[in-house]
Chains A and B, each alone.
Chain A
Amino acid sequence: MVPSNVATETKTGTSKADVPALVFRHLSKSFGGAKALDDVEFHVDRGEVHGLLGQNGSGKSTLIKVLAGYHDPDNGELEIYGRRIPLPLVPGEYLKYGLGFVHQNLGLVPSLTVLENLIAGALATKARWYIDWRAEAERALETFARFRLDFDPDAIVGALPQVQQALLAIVRAFEEIRAGAAEHGTPGILILDEPTPFLPREGVERLFELIRDIVSHGASVVFVSHDVDEVMEITDRATVLRDGKVAGVIGTKGAERNDFIEKIIGRRIDLFTTERVDRSASEVTAHVAGLTGGPIANLDLVVHRGEVVGLTGLIGSGYEHVPYLMFGARPASGGTLALNGLLLSLPAMNPYWAVQLGIALLPGDRQGASGVGTLPIEDNVTLPVLDWFRRGLGLERRGMRAGAAALGQAYEVRPNRPDLNLDSLSGGNQQKVLLAKWMQSNPDLLLLDEPTQGVDVGARQAVFKAVRAAADQGLAVICASSDHEQLAAICDRVLVFARGRVVSELTGNNVTKDRITEQCYASATLQG
């Protein structure tokens, strides 16, 4: 029976089977004025695999984070198996309500064994003074056998293939739910947050088998994904989010692919448009030949003067590695780059030389790799060009501030206060500062990775304008992005990747958001 000390029973009259596993009503959450979730309804039935679909920024992850207790919603009600659960949830207490999570990073410790990882949760929460390792190993083997998995409990997790790690994480989460569920008699709800992007096709199949096994035990699964095909294959129903609102709930059986894609993309007005020019006749700025490294295999790529080339694909296709490999920020195992009359070996490339040779990289990880939030804007901006401000033995600090202020003005940074710490600005303004940081040194080749992630609409337009203006002055730009609207807005040409290779090239009037999205999904299917 339901323990009454946790929450009150609301639907005592209804029979158990009719009660949905999880219900959110009127869920809203805003971040500084922007509505991440707006009056969202979300129903998951018992024994159902329920998809949660949407583009980046549609509110998927906010919803999941409310469930996990990371976010305190502004408004909303939550019921789990008919029990009214007070919001916000306490972080880490979701197990108490029969919820289990597997996030994309899986939450495994790679240097520990399968068995240690499997019982980590129990070790963390229960005071146990003696661990019977042999009994634990036997129990683990029984569990694995139940799911037809072949694991060695003593294997080091980091040495296992990605698929096995994902399966282990899912089994672990499900076992934890079951243990919790046994206490209050509900089968539990497993939330899988984008579990598939890094898995090969066979791995996805294996994962789906596991999900079906889990559902056959009576539990419910919430499957969060951006991949329409996978959602169509595994789910019974799916809720599509767009701009924080529910765009629709679709019963998977009998639904068409296009029904989903229409709901996901919706109709939006393209704010920034560019006149696409065929630059294939103009001078070649950079010519990459045979680039190999990470997931990228033998890539050839030409960028002309004044051209903006977009790189995209679904998560896991590897396109986002290209800027880093070209910059020497991640090791390449082969390939050359011809730039400005020089032939460069990419395995020997490193960031120091890249900067010297006129390449600039704006990384996607703003706080970790692009700028230091706890240092002033003026210091962040002047870091690559400190030599300009050298006066005798020291630096001309006043000149640095004036230079940073001039850049701030040119890039419409608000407030334009170079003495403030970088993280006192909004995400969009931070990105303007960091773009300015690299543009000031007048590079020949600019590499961008997700340049407008987490950036508000106004700042997006400012970033687009700056990139386009610089390209018109002759700068060659490579932009890796999962934001197809953005690619359509700034790119002359878009290359679509799948499994580390270019599978499609869009030029001229084909560079539209819908065409890019379509090609991404089409290519993934072709490869599968």
Chain B
Amino acid sequence: MIVIVIAVILLVAALILTVLQERGTTGSSPIIGGAPRGMRAISLPPSVRSAQGPRFWTEAYWAANWKTLLQRFSIFIAYALLLLAFALASPAFFTWSNHTNVWFSTAAIVVMSLGLILPLTSGDFDLSIASVMVLSAMMVAALNVWQGWPVGLAILAALAAGALVGAVNAFFIVYFRIHSLIVTLGVGTLINGVVIWFSKSNTISNVSFDLAAAMYERVFLKVPNNVWYTVIVAFALWYFLEYTAPGRRLLFVGRGREVARLAGIRVDRVRAGSLIACSMIAALAGVMYVGMTGSAEPINARAFVLPAFAGAFLGATCIYPGRFNPWGTLIGLYFLATGVNGLSLVGLPSFIQDLFYGGGLVIAVTLSQIVLKRQQQNF
């Protein structure tokens, strides 16, 4: 069932992003009279061989690209070193079940962080994602347990709420031209308050068992299903950003807003679309969260913000360095979570999580800046 939900939400998110950008939608036209004299002829250029760099897999290729490749896949080297270090330090660490448990409990944050890539790519921050995640989790639990709604319907309501928050963010950011940091910080805090208010600070447990099962069952390779969901979302985002026209436009809106505008892209709609899609994906993360824990508590969402941003920025230092990218984010977050797990198994107290996520973010981004010789950061 949850696979269907993920598919639906990704489709809806993609539709919002696309429909908002495409032609033919409403918008005031400057045409005040006359009739067009037929369509302009557009010809596709013939395909021609371009001068290429060295061929893949040859020695010259490695000689020319080893630095880039090293940076792209440095995260795997770091991951391997981490595994090695903790395997030596703690016998409990290097087991399959330990790792799958770490991945399992990180999956919701991974999805949230993946959604965050969209507005970051189009040049906006969204600090409200963690609040949307908690809101969504609480809505699913409250509607399902307190109101007796079927869990599927509760999920749809939560996703709709996510989209609504995204639309509110977009309205203030795009229409009133307020900086996204301010708007989403405010909206996020406001949602926190709303959640505590309507739940009266109660934790809601006994959420539908179906949802929990959809998360922890291990259908494939003995990895919990929810980890596969993160892979599905990452794949969908990667495809969207790399292989679709709306994804390309997103990138140009983020890197060169004026360039995009003068190329005829409706920049405001692109930004609004990415903010709404991001909030919906954060709501999906909330659905996963409530399934993973079987209950929802109106906790302060702020604790989730930093890991999500750390994942997105750490992800931008690898796989496709210099760009927010889903695979880098996915691997980066699992890497950070594994590190935290290792440190706690060695016996370090729980504040180590903050040290690791916060420090890890700054150190990782610094290392990549050293490789790039301290150029201006331009994601």
Binding site for B on A (CB under 8 A): 327-329, 336, 338, 340-346, 348-356, 358, 361, 363, 365, 368-372, 374-375, 379, 382-390, 393-395, 397, 399, 401-410, 415-419, 440-444
Contacts and interface: CB of A to CB of B under 8 A. Distances in A.
B377 to A, nearest CB: 10
Contact of B32 (A340, A343, A404, A419): A343
Nearest to B379: A374
B244 A416 contact: no
B42 A394 contact: no
Contacts of A338: 34
A368 B256 CA distance: 7
Contact of A358 (B32, B40, B51, B256): B40
- B29, B47, B239 pick with most chain A CB within 10 angstroms: B29
A363 B262 contact: yes
Contacts of A349: 30
Closest 3 CB pairs of A and B: A405-B50, A355-B264, A343-B33
A375 B255 contact: yes
Contacts of A417: 50-53
B49 A343 contact: no
A139 B160 CA distance: 62
Interface residues on B, range: 35 or more
Interface stretch (B246-254, B292-300, B324-332): B246-254
A343 B34 CA distance: 6
Contacts of A383: 248-249, 252, 259-260, 263, 265
B47 A351 contact: no
B27 A352 contact: yes
A406 B42 contact: no
B262 A329 contact: yes
10 contacts: A328-B30, A340-B37, A344-B31, A344-B32, A353-B31, A355-B264, A356-B264, A417-B50, A442-B40, A442-B41
Contacts of A350: 30
Contact of B53 (A344, A358, A394, A419): A419
B30 A346 contact: yes
Interface SS majority for chain B: loop
Contacts of B251: 375, 379
Contacts of A388: 42, 44
A352 B35 contact: no
B136 to A, nearest CB: 27
B48 A405 contact: yes
A28 B243 CA distance: 49
B217 to A, nearest CB: 30
Contacts of B262: 327, 329, 351, 361, 363, 369-370
B322 interface: yes
- B30, B239, B245, B260 pick with most chain A CB within 10 angstroms: B30
B49 A405 contact: yes
Given A338-B34, A340-B36, 16 more contacts: A341-B35, A341-B37, A343-B34, A356-B23, A369-B259, A370-B262, A371-B259, A372-B252, A375-B255, A383-B265, A395-B245, A397-B242, A402-B47, A406-B45, A442-B43, A443-B40
A395 B46 CA distance: 17
B31 A440 contact: no
Contacts of B32: 336, 343-345, 348
A406 B48 contact: yes
Contacts of A440: 45
Contacts of B264: 351-352, 354-356, 384
B322 A374 contact: yes
A393 B15 CA distance: 11
Contacts of B43: 442
Interface string B334-368: 00000000000000000000000000000000000
Interface in B60-103: none
Nearest to A404: B50
Contacts of A365: 258
A345 B46 CA distance: 37
B266 interface: yes
B255 A374 contact: yes
